[in-house]
Amino acid sequence: MSLEIPIDSTVESLQHLLLCARGEKPCDLVLKNASVINIFSNEIKTEDVGICGNRIAGIGRYSGNREIDLGGKYLSPGFIEGHIHIESSMLSPHRFAEAVVPKGTTTVICDPHEIANVLGLEGVRYMLACAEGTPLDIFAMVPSCVPATHLETSGATLASEDIAHLLEQPGIVGLGEMMNFPGTIYGDGDVLMKLGEALARDMVIDGHAPGVGGKELQAYCAAGISSDHECTTIEEAREKLRAGMYIFIREGSTAKNLEALLPLVTPATCDRFLLVSDDRHPDDLISQGHLDAILRRAVALGIDALCALRMVTINPADRFGLKMRGAIAPGYLADLVVLSDLTDFQVEQVFKEGHLVAELERPIKSQPSEAFIDTDNRLMQSVHIDWQKVDFRIPAHGHKKKIRVIDCIEDQIVTSMNEIEPTIVGGYAIADPTRDLLKISVIERHHAGGTMTNGFVRGFGFTNGAIASTVAHDSHNLIVVGTNDDLMLAAARLVADNDGGLSLVCGDENLVLPLPIAGLMSDQPPAVVADQLTSINKMARRMGVRVANPYMLLSFLALPVIPTLKITDKGLVDVTKFAFTSLWL
């Protein structure tokens, strides 16, 4: 699908559209007897919807060259995802489209900062190139923080001049989440130059400001940032709403904020909210759905169905300036979803630009091959580690008795920090599974530079084994958690040998989910990747892992912009101070 807004505005096309709209000529397609959801008037009426080319000619009584009787089923605008990192689905953009379009999603706003942190401009170009030829419109926000911070080693850098170049490209709708909130608030020159490039073009800027409030929030918003998807409490969301922000309510595979924030959504405030997934794993996409799953959850929690639909249709369209999208009205793009009801949101059919592209949650056509050509193998060979420098040992400090430990919080990407006495054997601090005290390491994997950090984590629960991944936000170095050094090395090598992915080692058993595209994505069909992830998660549960999404949780433990204690290849990070801290107290 073209990244340009696909509206034919020639005189001939407009004359044809108007003839159909006036009823003087049959429409190309008419959806008869539909319970049309009118987002503007907040009502549902049984009408015909006439379609001419890729646009809606009119709503009322129409005849067409083709007619489909919907028999009173609900007709909704196509769903629009306002904030997602496609890379976190572990699917290439083509395969992602294959998974979400049958679920009713016809447009997404992605922030490709995951692949940008691995491959820079080349990674962003890959995501945009892959948007061509799919029944999904993929718009992109320019990654604003590559690297996300100075506290980690990334594979690439996007300077302000790179951002200026990308902001001019077709399909770009704004500047992506500004994670460097300290730099924004206190006026870092490089950060302000990036913000200025978007402001000069009158483009929207997304935010990322967990826990920021008071005068600091006022400064953050004054810099031109107008959304946030990191709210975890209703008090935080209310303060940001009052500051003029759009509030993106996130319900992903790990971070789930819908139940906490939904009470703030009222008829008076609904226009300022979006329902987004941010990060969603392939098994969840296949088994639960995408935005349709969030709609089900929202309605089950008591929100009005039409209000919920606004948050995945017209609200994101308005937020990102997507003209003639997000509603069923004359002249609007004919992106439409047929629903059996407004409780389960069962998707019966999906029309993209007036063409039936999915039915009964199955795509009508298979996805074409991807257009991007990896001429120098950077995309498919992105794991580079100097194994001679890999050492998981942690020497004990005789005069220091305690260590800082990352404490995981289920269903959240925030962590807490604890201080405990380590287990010492032979002069080294080691993992102690009897206390759920496991070792965690991050190994730089972009330049074979040899930097790595060892620490400790609690919350995974397994007693014998190791898990590893090259999905480790946002620099995506190799991260591994385990009960001893040998198993950790085996899990790390298994990932590297497959050019990236997820691995698990338990005794003589091991599993791997290869993610060879930048160490982040697979080119396999969604069901195949979902099955691979399900298998590795099942084995993790047999190993004793007690969290529902261990690899999603693992991926955020290296993200030094989300409180409280995180780990990167350069050191342990106290996010509240935005600075390194020592393991030993």
pLDDT 10s digits, 412-471: 788 999 999 999 999 999 999 999 999 999 999 999 999 999 999 999 999 999 999 999
Tokens for 181?
A: 């909130």
What local confidence, expressed as pLDDT, does residue 399 receive?
Answer: 76
CB atoms near residue 351 (< 10 Å)? 24
CA 120 – CA 229 distance, rounded (Å)? 24
What local confidence, expressed as pLDDT, does residue 264 receive?
Answer: 98
Nearest C-alpha neighbor of 533 from the set 463, 465, 445, 471: 471
What local confidence, expressed as pLDDT, does residue 2 receive?
Answer: 37
> What domains appear along the chain, each with residue ranges and CATH number?
78-325 (3.20.20.140), 387-581 (no CATH)
CA 171 – CA 30 distance, rounded (Å)? 30
Alpha helical stretches, state H, 201-290: 214-222, 234-242, 258-261, 282-287
Contact 144, 177 (CB under 8 A): yes
What local confidence, expressed as pLDDT, does residue 148 receive?
Answer: 83
What local confidence, expressed as pLDDT, does residue 376 receive?
Answer: 65
Does residue 147 have a cis peptide bond before it, meaning omega lies within 30 degrees of 0? yes
Question: Who contacts 254 (Cβ-Cβ below 8 Å, separation ≥6)?
Answer: 279, 411, 412, 413, 549, 552, 553, 556
Q: Cα 385 vs. chain centroid, distance in angstroms?
A: 27
**Which of the residues in the chain have pLDDT under 50?**
1-3
Question: Who contacts 163 (Cβ-Cβ below 8 Å, separation ≥6)?
Answer: 142, 144, 175, 194, 197, 198
- In terms of phi and psi (left: phi > 0; alpha: psi -120 to 50; beta: otherwise), the region of 256 is beta
What local confidence, expressed as pLDDT, does residue 369 receive?
Answer: 58
What local confidence, expressed as pLDDT, does residue 6 receive?
Answer: 63
> Structure pTM?
0.92
What dihedral angle (degrees, nearest 10) is formed by the CA atoms of 471, 475, 478, 484? -100
What local confidence, expressed as pLDDT, does residue 400 receive?
Answer: 80
DSSP code at position 367:
P
DSSP code at position 436:
T
pLDDT 10s digits, 53-82: 999 999 999 999 999 999 999 999 999 999
CA 121 – CA 287 distance, rounded (Å)? 34
